[in-house]
Amino acid sequence: MSALDHAVVEQAIAWRVCLATGTCAAETFAACQSWRAQHPEHELAWQRLDALEGRFAAIPAALGHATLAAARHDPQRRRALKALVLLVAAGGAGMLGVSNGNVVQPWLANLRTGVGERRSLELPGGGRLHMNAGSALDIDFAGERRLLRLYQGEILLETGNQAAPRPLLVSTDFGSLRALDSRLLLRQHVDGMQLAVYAGAVEVRPADGRRQRVEEGWQARFDAHGVTAPQPAESERASWVDGVLVARDMRLDQFVAEFERQRHGLLRCDPAIAGLRISGVFPLDDSERALAAVARTLPVQVVYRTRWWVTLQPA
């Protein structure tokens, strides 16, 4: 059975969560159908979830509906969601063709942010954590241990100055970081991690590679096998903490991808204009305003099939 990309499986689950509320508008169903038709992997993930639901048909209907409901801010529904995810972890991951169980771990994380949701919080013992939209992690500060487990998304971490300094460790699918008196940005991609160090220094420990220290003012990518050569850090990468996207000669498809995680529904960029470049400061919480600014700046048009299904096309 062919493996599916974890991100695709999570998107399929998210669509089912949305539709299972029973209150979705017709345009939301249309957007979901468009997502399924966009790529064969999308439809395959959807069909395998169908088969999985059939396998667990003995689950009481009330639990099934509560499990698939919007659970992010409802503790009772969140517990139901965890129950279903545990069932998937017990037997469903193999049926979905996912090579390991990590696809379900973000749903079980004790800290999550949804679409368009950003969050900041103080860390026990000092320091501050900022989470971008679509992020999931666990905090484990038991005893002398200070550990964050990042499963998906992007964080800005300020470890803080402490009277009795203890390094803070961040674990990822590709390796771990060791930070002390640091300010760092960490983002997970499909094929590795992006790290930028704005203060202090960070030791990168790839899962199967040599450790490397990244100093203040530098950024690098790493995967399980090693760390790329550091490049000057781009401070605008952290602008989401202030609720804006600072684009500097950014590709349009990358710009659209940044906003897609900040708004519900489908936001797509026609491949014919994907390579156009955009610069400016754009509000993350007002995507319509940002897209209108793009249309005024570049030879593109914003096509609204519905409020939740938007495509940037050549003008």
pLDDT of residue 129: 96
Beta pairing class for 266-269 and 309-314: parallel
Please give the structure tokens belonging to residue 120.
């900041």
SS3 137: strand
The full set of domain ranges for the chain reads 6-108, 112-234, 243-314
The matching CATH number, chosen from 3.30.559.10, 3.40.50.300, 3.55.50.30, 3.30.70.600, for 243-314 is 3.55.50.30
Please give the structure tokens belonging to residue 196.
């930028």
pLDDT of residue 294: 96
CA angle 49, 55, 61 (to 5 degrees): 85
Question: pLDDT tens digits, the chain, 315 residues: what are they?
Answer: 566 776 777 778 778 767 765 666 777 888 888 889 888 888 888 887 776 655 444 444 444 444 444 444 455 445 545 554 444 444 455 555 555 556 667 767 889 898 899 999 998 878 899 999 999 999 998 877 889 999 999 999 998 765 556 789 999 999 999 998 899 999 999 899 999 999 999 999 999 989 999 999 999 999 999 999 999 999 999 999 999 999 999 999 999 999 999 988 889 999 999 999 999 999 999 999 999 999 999 999 999 988 888 999 999
Give the other-Cβ count within 10 Å of 25's Cβ.
11
**Dihedral pair phi/psi, residue 169, rounded to 5°:** -105, 140
pLDDT of residue 13: 77
Q: How far apart are CA 63 and CA 227, in angstroms?
A: 45
Q: How far apart are CA 181 and CA 200, in angstroms?
A: 6
CATH architecture of the domain 112-234 equals Sandwich (2.60)
pLDDT of residue 194: 97
SS3 58: coil
Quick check: 82 and 72 in contact, CB under 8 A? Answer: no
- Scanning 20-154, the segments in alpha helix (DSSP H) are 26-38, 40-55, 61-67, 75-87, 93-96, 105-108
Give the other-Cβ count within 10 Å of 148's Cβ.
23
